[in-house]
Amino acid sequence: MSKLQLDAEDRLRHLLTLEGLPRALLESLLDRAEILRPRALSGSGERAALAGRTVVNLFFEASTRTRNAFQIAAMRLGADVVNFEVSQSSTRKGETLADTALTLQAMGVDIFVVRAAESGALAELAGVLDAGSAVVNAGDGRAAHPTQGLLDMLTLRMHKGRDFSGLKVLLVGDVAHSRVARSNLHALRTLGAGEIRIAAPTTLLPSAEVLDGSRVFDSLNEALAGVDMVMMLRLQRERMAEGLIDSIDAYARDWQLTPQRLQLAAPDAIVMHPGPMNRGVEIAAEVADGPQSVILEQVANGVAVRMAVMQMLVENRHVVRR
């Protein structure tokens, strides 16, 4: 995946994963998003950037934030946007993702924003489309969610500065099933985060490869000591075999970020969550809505980051008007 998304000059041609994305490229996407942010939020946008281009949102899993942020970002860039209705489409008749995408490409779609249930589907898609089309991963299985990783890095950077080397960051909960965690871990390593901590019940820990370079804790209270950022992850019951946790109540007792627990972190620590939240399970409502929460800023930054990605793909001339 990491090779397929770069051209011979190491410029972005698809965005499939943050794994292996060069630091300079990652930082230039964040810089670009930071510049676009005021125009993303005010709505004035950058309307000439994708004028005449067509973006399709092809989502095979549920989404609120990601899909709407991509739609708003594409509109702010002046693109025509199609929201593909999977439940009403011929995918229900057995048409494959590749055939669906080739059909849309024949109608003039330039950028394919895709959320897939299986890891690997995106790389396959990038392989079958014309050279003039680009694929952007909006989440595939548990593997990657690169624009989420970027928006989280932008949010962290805006609060803690560009130099992550002095930061202690903590990811908590269902890391095993989380593409958000995987993309965050790649980005945090690339950007040189000082200390990366992971806290989870052993049944929700990912493979050793994913954990590489992180300090693993089996107690949330211990893991929280002195951290500058804590990211709570949703308990992904839809991806979970039964029996990985004893009960929701027991999970909430041991792993919920409560106002009391948050006091163990640095006094100016920020609290993140990619959404959707299970209030009262992994995060207490008082924390989600409290002064240290930057959860809605993450959402706002998601529009700017997606604008930056699509603008860069077009500028790199990998999205070619036919």
Residues making contact with ligand NCD (CB under 6 A) = 65-66, 139, 145, 148, 179-180, 234, 236, 274-275
Per the structure block, which two tokens stand in for 235? Answer: 């308990």
Sheet architecture: strand order including 80-84? 80-84, 54-59, 111-116, 134-140
**Is the CB of 45 or the CB of 139 nearer to ligand NCD?**
139
> Strand, helix or coil at 293?
strand
Report the nearest approach of ligand NCD to the CB of residue 224 (Å): 21
Per the structure block, which two tokens stand in for 86? Answer: 């999977």
**Is the CB of 65 or the CB of 189 nearer to ligand NCD?**
65
Report the nearest approach of ligand NCD to the CB of residue 145 (Å): 5
**Is the CB of 133 or the CB of 147 nearer to ligand NCD?**
147
Sign of CA dihedral 55, 158, 166, 214: negative
Report the nearest approach of ligand NCD to the CB of residue 265 (Å): 22
**Is the CB of 17 or the CB of 148 nearer to ligand NCD?**
148
Rg of the Cα atoms in the chain: 19
**Is the CB of 143 or the CB of 319 nearer to ligand NCD?**
143
Determine the Cα–Cα distance for residues 206 and 143; give it in Å rounded to an integer.
11
Strand partners, 115: 59
**Is the CB of 298 or the CB of 311 nearer to ligand NCD?**
298
Report the nearest approach of ligand NCD to the CB of residue 180 (Å): 5
Determine the Cα–Cα distance for residues 258 and 228; give it in Å rounded to an integer.
16
DSSP state of 202: G
User: Distances from the Cα of 319 to the Cαs of 72, 105, 143, in angstroms?
Assistant: 19, 12, 25
DSSP state of 93: G
Determine the Cα–Cα distance for residues 261 and 114; give it in Å rounded to an integer.
37
**Is the CB of 292 or the CB of 298 nearer to ligand NCD?**
298
Across the chain, which distance is largest between two alpha carbons, in Å? 58
**Is the CB of 13 or the CB of 234 nearer to ligand NCD?**
234
Determine the Cα–Cα distance for residues 206 and 204; give it in Å rounded to an integer.
7
Report the nearest approach of ligand NCD to the CB of residue 140 (Å): 9
> Strand, helix or coil at 283?
strand
Please check whether residue 134 is in contact with residue 319, taking contact to mean a CB–CB distance below 8 angstroms: yes
For ligand NCD, which residue has the nearest CB? Answer: 234
Report the nearest approach of ligand NCD to the CB of residue 118 (Å): 14
Report the nearest approach of ligand NCD to the CB of residue 288 (Å): 14
Report the nearest approach of ligand NCD to the CB of residue 111 (Å): 18
Determine the Cα–Cα distance for residues 255 and 282; give it in Å rounded to an integer.
6
